[in-house]
Amino acid sequence: MIESNQKILVVDDEAPIRKLLRRCLERETFQVLEAENSAQTLDLLRNNDIDLITLDLSLGGEDGLELARAIRSEAQVPIIMVSGKGDLIDTVVGLEIGADDYISKPFELREVVARVRAVLRRYQPVAQPQSTPSSASTESGEELQFDRWVLNCITRELHDTDGNLVPLTTGEFDLLHMFVKSPRKVLSRDQIMDTLKGNEWLPNDRTIDNQVARLRKKLTLEGDQQLIKTVRGSGYLFTLQVT
């Protein structure tokens, strides 16, 4: 469940747009901060616990993509880009540098709320069961080991072999679980999206690509080997043997 009073930073150089989004999000119990330029955005990001940023790509004389890069270099806070109809190329570039979703102007406020909630759900920590599973989980195949990590499918936890917890969001856990259940098998983006999101995705949704990038950063291998390999034109391949 998404907590109330999560803090949203609305970045737009147009005051009427900021006011519109503020009123919309505050009705949904979110706290809202506003910024009209890069300097204000980065200052608020550094001095507040921001849960999500809506970022207009057209910030007057500033480059919204450069600001997105600056945000991503400092924090893994979710970013939803707000773009005009003619900004398709910028939108694709923004998704490639780590934005989580986008909204096109003119937008419906209900769509804004739905996308904000969807992105926040993907960033929630993995929920833990109230009861402690029995030690029989290993025997029943509910613990899956690859390289130096153990994924427990009941507790939804990932540990290294020294027992250290690797924190994963709900979306990251679900994606990793899907990969370890199909090791050394190419999974297409469409197949992954259909399994994890059903019909609730668009062809240019880059959620999976961003989560793959985050998993690669959290689970690094020695040398040049990658945990999850991109197979050009086909999808992704989990490279390790799973036991």
pLDDT in tens, 165-190: 998 888 888 899 999 999 999 998 88
Strands (E), 1-147: 7-11, 31-35, 52-56, 58-59, 62-63, 79-83, 101-104, 143-146
Domain stop point among 89, 122, 155? 122
Task: Read off the pTM.
Answer: 0.60
38 found inside a domain: yes
Catalogue the E-assigned strands of the chain. Answer: 7-11, 31-35, 52-56, 58-59, 62-63, 79-83, 101-104, 143-146, 149-152, 157-160, 186-187, 228-231, 235-238
Contact between residue 58 and residue 50 where contact means Cβ atoms under 8 Å apart = no
User: Confidence band (pLDDT; 50, 70, 90) for 25?
Assistant: very high
- Regarding whether 75 and 152 lie in a shared domain, the answer is no
Range of the domain at 185: 135-238
CATH number at residue 18: 3.40.50.2300
**pLDDT tens sequence across 97-149:** 778 888 888 888 988 998 898 888 877 765 544 444 443 333 445 889 999 99
Are 83 and 159 members of one domain?
no
pLDDT band at 14 (very low <50, low <70, confident <90, very high): very high
Structure tokens belonging to residue 2: 């998404």
Same domain, 110 and 214: no
Q: What percent of the chain has pLDDT over 70?
A: 84
User: In this predicted structure, which of 66-75, 80-89, 217-226 has the lowest mean pLDDT?
Assistant: 80-89
Torsion of Cα atoms, 105 then 107 then 113 then 115, to 10°: -60
- What CATH number did the domain enclosing 189 receive? 1.10.10.10
Judge whether 130 lies within some domain: no
124 Cβ contact partners less than 8 Å away, ≥ 6 residues apart: 2, 169, 170
Residue 130 DSSP symbol? S
Helices 207-218 and 189-197 pack at an angle, to 10 degrees, of 100
Q: Is residue 39's pLDDT more than 90? A: yes
Q: Do residues 12 and 36 share a domain?
A: yes
pLDDT of residue 224: 77
118 with 36, same domain?
yes
| Confidence at residue 98, expressed as pLDDT on a 0 to 100 scale | 75
Q: What is the mean pLDDT of the chain?
A: 83
Do 90 and 151 share a structural domain?
Answer: no
Same-domain check for residues 114 and 12? yes
- How many domains, the chain? 2
Question: Are 21 and 112 in a shared domain?
Answer: yes
Beta strand extents in 62-153 (DSSP E only): 62-63, 79-83, 101-104, 143-146, 149-152
Residue 140: both structure tokens together: 């029943």
Same domain for 89 and 189: no
Q: Domain boundary at 92, 122, 152, which? A: 122
